[in-house]
Amino acid sequence: MGRKDVDRERLHVARDGVAESAGVQLLEHTFIVVTQAFCPASHNLVGAGPTAFDGYPGIAIWVDDGKSQGLVELSPIHGDKSKVGPEFPAGTKLRLECPVCRAELPFLAECSCQPGAALHLLYLSARRDEANVVGLCDIWGCTRSRVIDRSEILSEWLAGNIRSSD
């Protein structure tokens, strides 16, 4: 049974822009949209900046490489590499923080994109339940982010289970 504090109405899998329930077969044009993501102090970072991606508010993250820093807004559409903000050379290791309180995003796991890389947590509920998170890599240009819902890697499940309607 899933946690009741995760707003499943707002974290959704969509097909051609229409939300689907968990029991519906996923088709070719399926995507995941993160519509709420919280820092360790429970600030919602979705919509914390001014940018929207295909009509969905972005996920705001403060990034710092030790030389320069700034607000980066990431597309909330899983797999979309779009972002707005400062640029860094590919492979740059960053400190990831909440742009509201500047708390560093907690460590989730090592990332395999390069030595020393790590995935950091954004919680899918204000209660900060580690079974329901987004994992963001601290390496600029890495695309191995994860959406974990009820301790299952939803983004991996989704990619492996999409069926064609043909």
Q: Is residue 6 part of a domain?
A: no
Share of the chain above pLDDT 90, in %: 46
pTM: 0.74
- On whether residue 95 sits in a domain, the answer given is yes
**Dist CA 50 CA 56 (whole Å):** 11
**Pairwise CA distance, residues 105 & 99, whole Å:** 11
In this predicted structure, the answer to whether residue 27 has a pLDDT above a threshold of 80 is: no
Residue 135 is inside which H or E element, if any? strand 133-137
- Judge whether 166 lies within some domain: no
- Residue at 52 is within a domain: yes
Provide the token pair at 8: 């499943």
For residue 134, being part of any structural domain is answered with yes
Domain extent, residue 87, equals 12-161
Q: pLDDT for 69-81, tens place per residue?
A: 999 999 888 778 8
Q: Is residue 35 part of a domain?
A: yes
99: in domain: yes
How many domains would you assign to the chain?
1
Q: For 50-75, give the DSSP string.
A: S-EETTEEPEEEEEE-SS-EEEEEE-
86-144 tens-digit pLDDT: 999 999 999 999 999 999 999 998 999 999 999 999 998 888 888 888 889 999 998 88
DSSP summary character for residue 109: E
